[in-house]
Amino acid sequence: MIKRRMLLEMQRKMLAREAKKPAEAVDYYSVFLEHLTEDGREMFNRAVEQYGEVARKVAVKIGQLYHLGRLSGSLDASAVYWVFQEIGLPIRIETRIVYKKGGEVKSISDMLKEEEE
Residue ranges per structural domain of the chain: 2-116
Residues 13-46: pLDDT tens digits?
888 877 666 555 789 999 999 999 999 999 999 9
Half-sphere exposure of 78 (CA within 13 A, CB side): 0
pTM beyond 0.75, yes or no: no
Residues 37-76: pLDDT tens digits?
999 999 999 999 999 999 999 999 999 999 999 999 999 9
β-pair partners for 100: 105
